[in-house]
Amino acid sequence: MAPKKRCQFIGEQQCNQAALRIVGQCAHCSSNFCANHRLPEHHACHKMEDCKQQAFNRNKAKLESERTVASKIVTA
Ligand SMILES: [Zn+2]
Ligand SMILES: [Zn+2]
C-alpha cells in the first residue's frame, strides 16, 4: 500500500495533516494538500501568480486591440 501523503503546505511549519486524495491535489502546482490548504489561496500557490499574470496579459492584449480598432475608426 502506498504511504499516506502529507499535506505539502509549509507555512510557519510543515502542515502535518494527511493530504486529501484526488481533491487535495492542486490543479496549478500539482502538490497535495489537506482540506485546509487545498485551495490555491490557502497554500499561497506559486502557480497562481502565473495565472494572474496570464489573465493580466490577456486583458492587456484585449484592451490594446480594442484601442487599435478605436483609433482606426477615429482616423478613418
Ligand atoms: Zn495542510
Ligand atoms: Zn497550488
Question: Is this model's pTM higher than 0.85 or not?
Answer: no
Q: How far is the CA of 1 from the centre of ligand 1 (A)?
A: 22
Q: pLDDT at residue 54 above 70?
A: yes
What's the whole-number average pLDDT of the chain? 88
Look up residue 44 and give its three cell numbers.
499561497
pLDDT confidence tier of residue 30, bands split at 50, 70 and 90: very high
Residue 51's pLDDT is: 72
Report CA-CA distances (Å) from 29 to 11, 12, 14, 62, 65. 16, 20, 17, 27, 32
Q: pLDDT at residue 3 above 70?
A: no
Look up residue 11 and give its three cell numbers.
507555512
Q: How far is the CA of 50 from the centre of ligand 1 (A)?
A: 22
11-34: average pLDDT: 93
Cα separation, 34 vs 4, in Å, equals 12
Q: How far is the CA of 58 from the centre of ligand 1 (A)?
A: 32
Ligand lying nearest the CA atom of residue 43: 2
* Bridge partners (DSSP) listed for residue 18: 6
Ligand lying nearest the CA atom of residue 8: 1
Compute the Cα dihedral for 65, 71, 74, 76 and give only its sign: negative
